[in-house]
C-alpha cells in the first residue's frame, strides 16, 4: 500500500452542459447590453448547484461566481476543480460573525456587510478586504441589509476599520420587476452621494431594471444555472 493519499477525484463537467451554460451566459450579457449596461460585472450565482455545475460555469466563461451560504461556499472552494480556478468569488448571502473567520481569504468581494459586528469581524479577519455594505432599501424583512439611515455611519465605520469599501448592495422587492425601480434608483443615488463606485443590484427577474438604474454588478442565478 502506498502511503501517499490518492488525488481527490476531479469533477469533470459534461461538454454539453458547458455549451448550454455558455449560451445562457451570452444571452444574459446581451440582455445587460440591451438594457444599457456596457460595463457591468456579471456574477453567476451557483448556490444550491453542485460544484461540478460551478466548474462548468467557469468553463463556459463565467468570471465571477456568487454563493450565499458559508458552508456551501467553503465546500465548493475546496473542490479540486474549483480551488485553483481562475474566477473571482463573491459572498452574497447574509453574514454571521462566527462564519467570517473561515471565509476570510476565500472571498474576493464581500457583498453583505450590514451591521457593526460583521464589519468589525471582517476587518479583523480579512484586513483591507474589498466590501460592499448591504442596504435594505425595500424594507422587506428576512433579506438582510441595514436601514437606509444607517448606511452612511456603517460605510464610515468600515472605512475607519481599514476595509476597502467599494459600494453598496441591495435585493429588490418581491413582485413585478418595476417595483424594484425606485429601490434601485435610491441605491444608485446613495452610492453617488457617498462617493462610492459599485452598485450591486439586479437578479434574474429584475436585471434590466437594475441596469437601467445604474447597476455596476448584477447577480444572476436562475437564468444561467437553471432553477434551484
Ligand atoms: C439567490 C440570489 C441571487 C440570484 O437570484 P436569481 O433570482 O436566481 O437570479 C442574487 N442575489 C442574492 C443576494 C441571492 O440570494
Decide: helix, strand or coil at residue 96.
Answer: coil
pLDDT reading at 7 higher than 60: no
Report d(CA 143, CA 45) in Å as an integer: 16
Q: Is the CB of 94 under 6 A from ligand 1?
A: no
DSSP structural state of residue 61: T
Which pLDDT belongs to residue 11? 67
Number of domains composing the chain = 1
Given this model, what pLDDT does residue 12 score?
A: 82
What's the pLDDT score for residue 1?
46
With left for phi above 0 and alpha for psi between -120 and 50, is residue 214 left, alpha or beta?
left
Confirm whether 187 is domain-assigned.
Answer: yes
3-state secondary structure of 47: coil
Mean pLDDT of the chain: 94
Q: Residues 167, 65, 178, CA angle at the centre, nearest 5°? A: 60
Q: Which of 44, 47, 49, 68 to mutate to test the pocket of ligand 1 (most atoms within 8 A of CB)?
A: 68
Which domain does 162 fall in, by range? 15-225
In a domain, 6, yes or no: no
- Exposure of 11 in the CB half-sphere (CA atoms within 13 A): 20
The answer to whether position 81 is within a domain reads yes
> Is 157's pLDDT higher than 90?
yes
Confirm whether 4 is domain-assigned: no
Which tens digit of pLDDT belongs to each residue from 55-99?
999 999 999 999 999 999 999 999 888 888 889 999 999 999 999
pLDDT over 80 (residue 8): no
**Whole-number pLDDT of residue 66:** 98
Ligand 1 contacts CB of residue 68 (under 6 A)? yes
Q: Between residues 86 and 216, which one has the greater pLDDT? A: 216
Q: Does residue 89 lie within any of the structural domains?
A: yes
For cell 441595514, the residue is: 146
Instruction: Name the phi and psi angles at 171, rounded to 5.
Output: -110, 130
CB-ligand 1 contact for 202 (6 Å cutoff) = no
What's the confidence (pLDDT) of residue 146? 98
Instruction: Report whether 58 contacts 87 (CB < 8 A).
Output: yes
N-to-C CA span, the chain: 42
- 29 CA distance to ligand 1 middle (Å): 17
Cα 155 to ligand 1 centroid, rounded to whole Å = 23
Write down the pLDDT at residue 88. 97
Residue 1 lies in a domain: no
Q: Is residue 140 part of a domain?
A: yes
Assigned domain for 184 exists: yes
Ligand 1 centroid – CA 8 distance (Å) = 30
CATH label of the domain that carries residue 24: 3.20.20.10
**Rounded to an integer, what distance in angstroms lies between the CA atom of residue 117 and that of residue 94?**
13
Percentage of the chain exceeding pLDDT 70 = 95
Amino acid at each position: 500500500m502506498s502511503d501517499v493519499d490518492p488525488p481527490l477525484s476531479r469533477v469533470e463537467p459534461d461538454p454539453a452542459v458547458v455549451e448550454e451554460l455558455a449560451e445562457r451566459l451570452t444571452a444574459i450579457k446581451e440582455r445587460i447590453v440591451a438594457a444599457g449596461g456596457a460595463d457591468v460585472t456579471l456574477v453567476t450565482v451557483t448556490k444550491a448547484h453542485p460544484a461540478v455545475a460551478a466548474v462548468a460555469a467557469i468553463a463556459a466563461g463565467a468570471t465571477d461566481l456568487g454563493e450565499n451560504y458559508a458552508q456551501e461556499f467553503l465546500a465548493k472552494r475546496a473542490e479540486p476543480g474549483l480551488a485553483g480556478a481562475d474566477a473571482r468569488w463573491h459572498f452574497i448571502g447574509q453574514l454571521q460573525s462566527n462564519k467570517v473567520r473561515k471565509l476570510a481569504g476565500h472571498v474576493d468581494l464581500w457583498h453583505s456587510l450590514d451591521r457593526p459586528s460583521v464589519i468589525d469581524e471582517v476587518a479583523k479577519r480579512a484586513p483591507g478586504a474589498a466590501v460592499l455594505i448591504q442596504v435594505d432599501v425595500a424594507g422587506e424583512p428576512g433579506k438582510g441589509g441595514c436601514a437606509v439611515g444607517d448606511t452612511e455611519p456603517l460605510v464610515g465605520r468600515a472605512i475607519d476599520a481599514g476595509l476597502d469599501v467599494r459600494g453598496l448592495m441591495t435585493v429588490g422587492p418581491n413582485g413585478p420587476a418595476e417595483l424594484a425601480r425606485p429601490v434601485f434608483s435610491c441605491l444608485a443615488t446613495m452610492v453617488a452621494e457617498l462617493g462610492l463606485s459599485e452598485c450591486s443590484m439586479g437578479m434574474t427577474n429584475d436585471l434590466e431594471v437594475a441596469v437601467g438604474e445604474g447597476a455596476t454588478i448584477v447577480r444572476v442565478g436562475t437564468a444561467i444555472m437553471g432553477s434551484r
